[in-house]
Amino acid sequence: MARPREFNEGIVLDAALQCFWRRGYDSTSVRDLIGETGLTGASLYNAFGDKHALYQKALDRYVETSIVDRIRRCERLAPLDGIEAFFAEVVKRSLADQDRKGCMLINAALGMATHDSDPREGVAEVLKRIERFFLKSVESGQAGGTISTSLPASDLAQHLLSVLVGIRVLARVRPERSLLRGTVASAMALLRNGDVKQERPTRKHVGSRSRT
């Protein structure tokens, strides 16, 4: 008869998640995981399998508690409000990320490119899930008259997905409030108006100096 586990699996997964998130898959050793989780190597392998299997479980937990949870909350809002709330939370989390860990999902997409296909296929499915949320929201907003119909809903959904990935990558090297919020503002303007209009700065006379 198998002995019951003497640890909380959720707590251990959260510890492993933080370890992988900070260090990345390749830079995380079994010794690192032992130190973070408090388990022995034998206990880790018995409970979760090898390092790759533990990483996949940790990534799945991140997706469920962060991305999927955010989608569920935003789906309850009006279409345009839901999209705006989704990006507002992403920007807030990015600005609060002092360690510049970024998004674990996007990190996985970039860092696992040379490994086997399983993580990439899982990451692709989550990105499709996010795109479906955007598509459903845009279609509903276009039907209700709150989102522009100047572009097909599928094009707008793909654009929003690209904006999301761009923000997450950009925030790791330039976590600037005005930059991230400006990127979102342009995307939201596209949804509302169908185009993005920017005021051109007034040309100053030659020889004038700015006092800012």
pLDDT tens, position by position, 132-177: 999 999 999 999 999 999 999 999 999 999 999 999 999 999 999 9
Q: Which amino acid is at 68?
A: V
How much is the pLDDT for 170? Answer: 94
What does the pLDDT read at residue 43? Answer: 86
Lowest-pLDDT range of 44-48, 62-66, 71-75, 80-84? 44-48
pLDDT of residue 55: 92
**Whether the model pTM is above 0.85:** no
pLDDT of residue 9: 85
Class of domain 59-193: mainly alpha
Average pLDDT value for residue range 62-89 = 97
Closest among 136, 133, 142 to 194, alpha carbons compared: 142
**pLDDT value, residue 3:** 46
Specify whether the CB–CB gap between 56 and 112 falls below 8 A.
no
44: CB partners within 8 A, 6+ apart: 30, 33, 34, 37, 54
Higher pLDDT among residues 81 and 5, named by residue: 81
The conformational region for residue 145 under phi > 0 = left, psi -120 to 50 = alpha, else beta, is: left
Mean pLDDT value across the chain: 87
Residue 197 backbone dihedrals phi, psi, to 5 degrees: -105, 130
Phi, psi angle pair for 206, to nearest 5°: -60, 130
Range with the poorest average pLDDT among 47-61, 130-144, 187-201:
187-201
Q: What is the pLDDT of residue 47?
A: 87
Residue 201 confidence (pLDDT) above 70: no
Residue with the bigger pLDDT between 114 and 161: it is 161
Residue 119: per-residue pLDDT? 65
Whole-angstrom Cα distance, residue 117 to residue 89? Answer: 30
Question: What is the share, in percent, of the chain residues with pLDDT greater than 90?
Answer: 67
Predicted local distance difference test score (pLDDT) of residue 200: 44
Nearest-angstrom CA–CA distance, 165 and 174: 14
**Residue 94 near residue 167 (C-beta atoms within 8 A):** yes
Q: Provide the pLDDT for residue 46.
A: 87
Report pLDDT for 95. 95
CA distances in angstroms from 44 to 12, 15, 34, 116, listed in the order given: 9, 12, 8, 22
Please state, in angstroms and rounded to a whole number, the distance separating the CA atoms of residues 58 and 194. 39
